[in-house]
Amino acid sequence: MIFRSSSVLWACPFRPFFLATGVYAIVALAGWLGVLLVQWPVAEPFAPMRWHSHEMLYGMVSAAITGFLLTAMCNWTGARPLAGRGLQALFGLWLLGRIVMWLGAWLPGWLVATVDLSFLLVVAVYAGRVIIQARSWRNLVLIAVLMALWLGNLAFHLDWGNGALSPSGRPDLIALLLVVVLMTIIGGRITPAFTRNWLQRNGKPTDSVRTYRHLEYVTLGSMLGLLLAVVLNLASEWIGILAALAGLCQLLRLWFWSGWKARSDALVWILHAAYAWIPIGLLLMAASSLTPQVPATAWIHALGTGAMGTLILAVMTRVSLGHTGRPLVLPDHAILIYWLILAASVLRLATALNWLTWQPGVLLTALIWAAAFAAFVLIYLPILTRPRADGRPG
């Protein structure tokens, strides 16, 4: 039975990478609290805040992106999923990157950078080859975002290793906005589609879920413009204007998806709730750029803890059911995952806005965040390590 579970784990990319995302969301946060509160040396020789940002973005988030992308592209292209030894090797590369980042104080900087940088590059090359062979040209934009993320990681290591800065001096913020661009693309595909599917399955009209091509272009264009403004380190007024435009477009886009129509299905409404953190974060970014009364950490954590944390759990809980041949019905007690991550997001934002005392707010947020991801691991471990319910491979 142990051998069978082990072989099933390597049958499709979402299985090991989703489990790794859940576990590492807790481990990386524990490491950060250790650095912050008792001066653990794991962040050395890196700036502690940069190490924290890096491991959340390039450790946890990259694992989630990889699990989703390498699984979803099989549907897009008809290709067989990466499995077996190839998947084990890729996962090992991700794990090795995490190990060297924790041992950075005792390893040469060039070794840490080489190992850590190799993972996303391999993912982008592999996924790009599959997509190009299938002539699935519209999905090449995702590979472009992956390569931009890789360049952001390179900026991290150049900054840390050689004292060279990216144009904005904040490669972590650039990486955060790149992930938001990726969420804009993927969330914009799956959220209205899954909402329509639910309405159709339940015999309800689907015309209330609307997407408009011009709004899609303006939304993505405003996000890319904001990203470029941050890369070029433009004046805060310009960044504020672009963030406000992007936030309003995202809000309008979300409104047209009519998420309230599917409010009785948690697997659907959580996608809308997760996406709502994107306009919240962007509008807070606009406010912090235009007035000193709103701290920058507010928008960073609205997009990080709120949008990324919630959307990752929303997608993992749904994909893990659908791609194991199980009904799209939340397992017992799994609704707790959603309430916990939403509570952690609200608490972290309240702390960033100085509505809560900093240390108790951060510690309570960390505890609830860890509980959300621990609940995912505990509830979904049997699903991710057992064969598909319908007997199909994968």
Shortest CA distance to 94 belongs to which of 66, 72, 68? Answer: 66
pLDDT at 166 over 60: no
Tell me, yes or no, whether 122 lies in a domain. yes
Domain count, the chain: 1
227 lies in some domain: yes
Higher pLDDT, 164 or 350: 350
Mean pLDDT in residue range 380-384: 96
Residue 192 lies in a domain: yes
pLDDT reported for residue 392: 86
Q: Note down the domain range covering 59.
A: 2-198+208-384
Q: Dump pLDDT digits (tens) for 116-136.
A: 999 999 999 999 999 999 998
Residue 232 has pLDDT above 80, yes or no: yes
Tens-place pLDDT, residues 253-283: 999 999 999 999 999 999 999 999 999 999 9
Residue 392 belongs to some domain of the structure: no
Whole-angstrom Cα distance, residue 43 to residue 102? 7
Residue 390 domain flag? no
Which amino acid appears at position 83 of this protein?
A
Spatial distance between the Cα atoms of 59 and 42, rounded to a whole number of angstroms:
15
Torsion of CA 276, 282, 286, 288, to 10 degrees: 90
pLDDT band, residue 157 (cuts 50/70/90): confident
For residue 15, which amino acid is it? R
Q: How far apart are CA 77 and CA 80, in angstroms?
A: 9
3-state secondary structure of 147: helix
Q: Is the pLDDT of residue 329 over 70?
A: yes
Flag whether pLDDT at 1 surpasses 50. no
Residue 27 CA to residue 59 CA, distance in Å, equals 10
| For residue 219, pLDDT beyond 60 | yes
Residue 50 lies in a domain: yes
Per-residue pLDDT for 3 more than 60?
Answer: no
pLDDT at 4: 47
CA-closest candidate to residue 268, choices 354, 218, 329, 222? 329
pLDDT score for 47? 78
**CA 182/CA 185 separation, integer angstroms:** 5
In a domain, 75, yes or no: yes
- On average, the pLDDT of the chain sits at 92
Per-residue burial over 338-356, b = 16 or more CB atoms within 10 Å of its CB, e = otherwise: bebbbbbbebbbebbbeeb
Quickly list DSSP for 318-345. HHHHHTTT--S-PPTTTHHHHHHHHHHH
Q: Is residue 24 part of a domain?
A: yes
In tens, the pLDDT along 55-99 reads: 999 999 999 999 999 999 999 998 999 999 999 999 999 999 999
pLDDT of 43 reads 74
What's 356's domain CATH number? 1.20.210.10
Left, alpha or beta for 46 (phi > 0: left; psi -120 to 50: alpha)?
beta
